[in-house]
């Protein structure tokens, strides 16, 4: 019995540490931080950080995964609140934008420039593009979206999502990732409807 209780405590403590790491990274980025600096900021030992990951690079990758798991859960929860098939694509993209508002520019830049974190963002962008395709197909099937080639529409959206993720939209327009997702949602709301 005590083993289970200890395991629950360990899991809660690990989750709390990942949450604290995530808050730190989202606010300040991570490229400038050392493991010693992170440990000092979190009031823990370096050995505690090594229980989370074997290196700073791995720690950053795992925190990035933690961010996107939380963001995905938040996005899906927001989507679940939308019953109207005609609003689901917009609701989804708006929720993605909202999830990204927590990230500072420095975090987004660090994530873009650090390959392991960028790969996590890329994988999540691909998953989000697939989810948008499913939502478009459902909307076309329900007759609330124009008869569009769902694969093409999803590919077009995925292309913009990748440009957002790769900071191309930021460079071209000055929009943050969150703002770009909100604009994409607005465009699609009117472009897909019957």
Query: What's the token pair of residue 100?
Result: 């990204």
Whether residue 105 has pLDDT greater than 50:
yes
Whether residue 45 has pLDDT greater than 70:
yes
Is the CB of residue 137 less than 8 Å from the CB of residue 152? no
Which of left, alpha, beta for 104 (phi over 0: left; psi -120 to 50: alpha)?
Answer: beta
Whole-model pTM? 0.83
* Domain at 2-192: CATH architecture: Orthogonal Bundle (1.10)
**Cα–Cα distance, 129 to 34 (Å, whole number):** 34
Per the prediction, the chain carries an average pLDDT of: 87
Is the CB of residue 118 less than 8 Å from the CB of residue 111? yes
**Cα–Cα distance, 29 to 27 (Å, whole number):** 6
- Predicted local confidence at residue 10, as pLDDT: 62
Phi, psi of 167 (to 5 degrees): 75, 10
SS3 123: helix
Instruction: Give the mean model confidence (pLDDT) for residues 81-92.
Output: 87
Query: What's the token pair of residue 102?
Result: 């927590």
């Amino acid at each position: 019995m005590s083993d289970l209780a200890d395991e629950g405590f360990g899991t809660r403590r690990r989750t709390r540490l990942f949450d604290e790491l995530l808050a730190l990274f989202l606010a300040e980025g991570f490229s400038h931080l050392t493991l010693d600096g992170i440990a000092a900021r979190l009031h823990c030992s370096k050995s505690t950080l090594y229980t989370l990951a074997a290196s700073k690079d791995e720690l950053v990758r795992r925190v990035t995964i933690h961010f996107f798991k939380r963001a995905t859960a938040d996005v899906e929860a927001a989507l679940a609140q939308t019953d109207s098939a005609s609003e689901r694509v917009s609701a989804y993209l708006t929720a993605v934008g909202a999830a990204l508002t927590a990230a500072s520019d420095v975090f987004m830049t660090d994530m873009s420039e650090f390959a392991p974190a960028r790969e996590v963002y890329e994988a999540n962008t691909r998953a989000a593009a697939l989810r948008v395709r499913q939502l478009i197909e459902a909307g076309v099937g329900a007759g609330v979206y124009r008869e569009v080639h769902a694969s093409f529409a999803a590919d077009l959206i995925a292309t913009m999502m990748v440009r957002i993720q790769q900071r191309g939209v930021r460079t071209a327009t000055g929009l943050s990732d969150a703002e770009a997702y909100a604009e994409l949602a607005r465009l699609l709301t009117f472009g897909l409807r019957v």
